[in-house]
Structure 1
């Protein structure tokens, strides 16, 4: 009786079928769902660390009161005459400076290995970046709202009325969200959170303080006046003033919206590309 040894068939293909759902790119609806899930994660993280709200709650109170009472008499002759200049300027300046924290927090998460876990998930590459950016809108809303409320408590009465003030409030939040993509990109290319924070300050503080946020631009020397005119923050400040003081949707409002959209169109893809290379 002969014994036959059964050997495995090495010619047979044992390749597993590829999961089409994992290999395909997420749809637009799936990308939005994944982004909102990441946003909810960031929101919970914010409320578990209330110190993240210190800058958006204390800064509007301090800056609005301090700059108004210190510079009001020197620049406009009285605090009341200075408020139509400084309140819209502080509104834009406060919300814009709060977006600097976006890149620092992103870099900290990447250093802790949080984003390494996202690498194994079948999610859109932009979701881990767009989610925190969407959640950070809460901070911009708080900063903008508090600035307006402090101005009203100090006696400022916007000539643009409710709808002009609402439009200025919305424009400020959109400007902060769009500029946050610059710092998101910095968070993906810098090596440490401290480097991101230092670079962000070097970018935003000259742009905000060398603008028309605090003084009329026609009072500045010629070389500085030329810089203020091309400063993107000045366009946002002027647009906010036009909306709050006059209720007018001027060309400056259109330029501000166009500039903010261009920032997102440029730096959002750069951030996603840099993030994809990092992981």
Structure 2
């Protein structure tokens, strides 16, 4: 019996091109599996909200708001916003690591939609952000926080914060494709995120700050996200302006960084 050469060599009809959604899901699963080899991504998603929520509530709650319970209503939505913003840097670091190890070049040679690698990373990031959000909200409930906005208000706040986090992830993806060094990506992200986190209204009211610092806090996008999250979770009115600014900041970051990241992805040597 004669065996066709094509059968031996595995040559035949070309396989059907994998769809964009399927390819993105596969790359997202890969990014999630990588957490096993780099658990720091998951540890920080737990440690940061636990540390800031517990420590600041019981250390400064009485001095700032009169009681830890009253301060928790102000602090918790802010910590939710800050925690997600800080852990966004790890998506960019992961992408830079793939570039330096050569995995990036192998993936670019596959017959799939080129943006699938970047979108897959965002899917993984979204899962991490939802996990961190669950930690923050669950911890707050255990400490006695009761959101007047109800479940819908909490879900809306989480959706807003996660959307803003994904927009930041696109920024760090673009940075990663420019510098190609995980340590540099982390350093650049820290230089940007630390001032945004602490020079904000997350921990104290801006009225207690110097005038020049108040001016920065008022234009700080993380302050607007924290204010909008407070309004949604606590059922407070008058946060429409902060919500609008948060959505605008998210849309602008996405509109600028998404095409930039895909452009840099396509022109890698």
Cα distance per residue 1:110-153 (max 9 Å; x no partner): 10000110122122221111111111111101111111111111
Matches within 5 A, 1:168-183: 168-183=157-172
Post-superposition offset of 1:61 = 1.3
What is the rounded CA distance, in whole Å, between the counterparts of 2:155 and 2:180 in structure 1? Answer: 39
Partner of 2:242: 252
Matches within 5 A, 1:200-239: 200-239=189-228
Matches within 5 A, 1:92-103: 92-103=81-92
Find the partner of 1:138 among 127, 139, 151.
127
| Unmatched tracts of structure 2, length 5 or more | 1-12
Which of the pair has more CA radius of gyration? Answer: 1
Partner of 2:255: 265
TM-score for the superposition, normalised by structure 2: 0.89
TM-score for the superposition, normalised by structure 1: 0.86
Partner of 1:58: 47
User: How large is the RMSD of aligned CA atoms in angstroms?
Assistant: 2.1
For these two proteins, the number of residue pairs brought into alignment is: 256
Cα distance per residue 1:57-79 (max 9 Å; x no partner): 22211111011112212211221
Matches within 5 A, 1:1-279: 30-47=19-36, 49-246=38-235, 248=237, 250-279=240-269
Q: Decide which moves more: 221-230 or 58-67.
A: 58-67
| Unmatched tracts of structure 1, length 5 or more | 1-18
Residues 107 and 192 of structure 1 are in contact (CA less than 8 Å); yes or no, is this contact kept in structure 2? yes
Q: Decide which moves more: 221-230 or 123-132.
A: 123-132
Residues 239 and 253 of structure 1 are in contact (CA less than 8 Å); yes or no, is this contact kept in structure 2? yes
Runs of 4 or more off by more than 4 Å in structure 1?
Answer: 19-22
What is the rounded CA distance, in whole Å, between the counterparts of 1:49 and 1:211 in structure 2? Answer: 30
